[in-house]
Structure 1
């Protein structure tokens, strides 16, 4: 099973190019989509979820045209949006029962068993009679997965699922995502680097509506080995061309630099990580965009 995405483009009425010729092939398992806020991730997710029509491009799931046959795809789709609203005065069991009706489960006994199974799967069965308004953030996210999995979907889309969760809930939710991804395609959109490092075998980085880097996270990190250097920020100039990020480490701010050679004797080599990959790729993309804009400006002036 594979999801094929070719040349997706979307421009909003205000002129914002949310998607620019996005192409990806996504196989079974968890595929991560990483990017800063405003990168186009949510627009991309909404197109895949058949909630938005792109200006151009194609999406197929096992040969089925997602954009031309949205009613067929919705039967195989589970979606957990970034802002998953709940009715605060309704119990989890009653809400999930109603959502199951919307999914086409009209037989009472079948639906009752399905609801119980879904709540047990996300470890909320004991809280089934609790009102959703009393749920913690992590419990609401787990309820969101329970509703997304109604009908055994083959394609699951989750948008920023761990934002705002405490460390315990975040780990619990990561484990749940891993378990439900077996024999399915699960696309995980996030701006939290560690989520992808822990969960994904394949990922892509999106910036300004474009896919600017993709591959295996471990391989991406390996490609930077021997090129990451770190120094206390106070010991180096404020501006360094090769700097990729400034981070706090044990109560002190450090500068991390991408360089084939030691950038200065105050720098020590350190192991690369996925944050280094992300910031290096975003930095290079921003530089290229500025150069392109400058070239276009120079051509128009001449």
Structure 2
């Protein structure tokens, strides 16, 4: 680990905002710079606290505990709410500017955690409506995109049925399709696979992975395996501050050589060990633990992104 990087700072408890990364700018990809962003809500803890970073192009993961500020940050980036202080620059234009916010709507695909497409509309009608809002004036082009996206999310057979009769997973797929209308340069998705079955989750993960080549896709989810499989870069937020900012594989490496699987036992691991998982067997419970001093007869395991994340969250409490 390189001294002075956000990974080093996070693991050693140094305070303050992590130093800004030098992000390579790719032509025709929206460049997003966040500077000292703070957001306060009345009678609540500070939601975002001096967030400063540049977002790379491609797939970017955003993870953190509940209440970390992830949804607040995404809503600011989507132009839905404004920060208390600080700024967001998109291609050098301040998001506080009304013209910038208006232009963003045409180049943004946003899937919030809770989306309720109009129940009286069919998927085709809803996507046509979204296309109008995004400035696609040509009716044929709107319908071409709508049909293509409905096929990509697996709703062709129900394209002419009213959304009100859909299951939660099907409505989620409609939401995914609307986020992709007008070929957006920036896509923000908040818990996109919530309510999807494993097959639907895999389909959407594959779809997302193919989108990050020529745009920025911000993915926030509690399913860290989805981040590990699709996002080369990840941010960790906790209590409104960036705790890690860097390659996903480097966060995983925080737990290298420290992950163990215990033998079946009826006795829980000693205090001080991070218990990542527990599986009950006929002979007792096998614990997946993160520790520098493994129990006797424990087997070493390859670390996962979740292991590295738990090291960051559990072993290095916030310092203000």
Same fold (TM over 0.5): yes
**Once the two structures are superposed, what CA deviation does each residue of 1:193-246 show, in whole Å capped at 9, x if it has no partner?**
111011110111111111112322223223422122232584655651132434
2:92 aligned to which of 57, 63, 66: 63
| Shift of residue 285, structure 1, vs aligned partner | 3.6
For the residue of structure 1 that corresponds to 2:262, the secondary structure is strand
After superposition, the C-alpha distances for 1:30-72 in whole angstroms (9 at most, x for unaligned) are 1000112211111111010000111112212222222322112
Q: How many residues align?
A: 288
State yes or no: 1:255 paired with 2:284: no
Deviation at 1:23, TM superposition (A): 2.0
- Tell me the equivalent position of 2:204: 173
The answer as to whether partners of 2:176 and 2:192 remain within 8 angstroms in 1 is no
Paired position in structure 2 for 1:42:
71
Instruction: Say if 2:203 is the partner of 1:203.
Output: no
Whether the 8 Å contact between 2:124 and 2:159 is mirrored in structure 1 is yes
Distance of aligned partners of 1:244 and 1:237 in 2 relative to their CA distance in 1, 3 Å threshold = closer
Specify whether residues 44 and 254 from structure 1 end up closer, same or farther in structure 2 by C-alpha distance, changes over 3 A only. Answer: farther
CA-based RMSD of the aligned residues comes to 2.3
Quick check: 1:28 aligned with 2:57? Answer: yes
- Deviation by residue 1:79-109 (Cα, 9 ceiling, x = unmatched): 0000011222321111112222222234433
> Which one is further off, 156-165 or 130-139?
130-139
User: Which residue in the other structure is 1:101 paired with?
Assistant: 132
Q: In 2, Cα distance between the equivalents of 1:189 and 1:103?
A: 23
The correspondence for 1:4, drawn from 22, 33, 51, is 33
| Structure 1 or 2: more helix by fraction | 1
Q: 1:269 to 1:108 in 2, by over 3 A?
A: closer
Q: Which runs of 5+ in 2 are unaligned?
A: 1-28
* Other-structure match for 2:216: 185
1:156 CA displacement: 0.5
- Deviations for 1:15-39, whole angstroms, at most 9, x for unmatched residues? 3211111122222211000112211
User: Secondary structure at the residue paired with 1:180?
Assistant: coil
What corresponds to 1:53 in structure 2?
82
Whole-angstrom CA distance in 2 between matches of 1:11 and 1:87: 32
- Three-state SS of the structure 2 residue aligned to 1:75 is helix
Distance, in Å, in 2 between the alignment partners of 1:250 and 1:111 is 55
Offset at residue 150 of structure 1 (A) = 1.9
CA offsets 1:112-165 (integer angstroms, 9 cap, x no match): 333223323433333210221333434322221221122221101000101221
Q: Secondary structure at the match of 2:109?
A: strand
> In 2, are the aligned partners of 1:46 and 1:52 still within 8 Å (CA)?
yes
Shift of 1:110: 3.4
Displacement of 1:7 after TM fit? 1.6
**2:117 corresponds to:** 86
Q: Does 1:145 align with 2:165?
A: no
* Structure 1, 109-118 or 93-102: larger mean CA deviation: 109-118
TM-score (norm 2): 0.82
Please state whether the residue corresponding to 2:315 is helix, strand or coil. helix
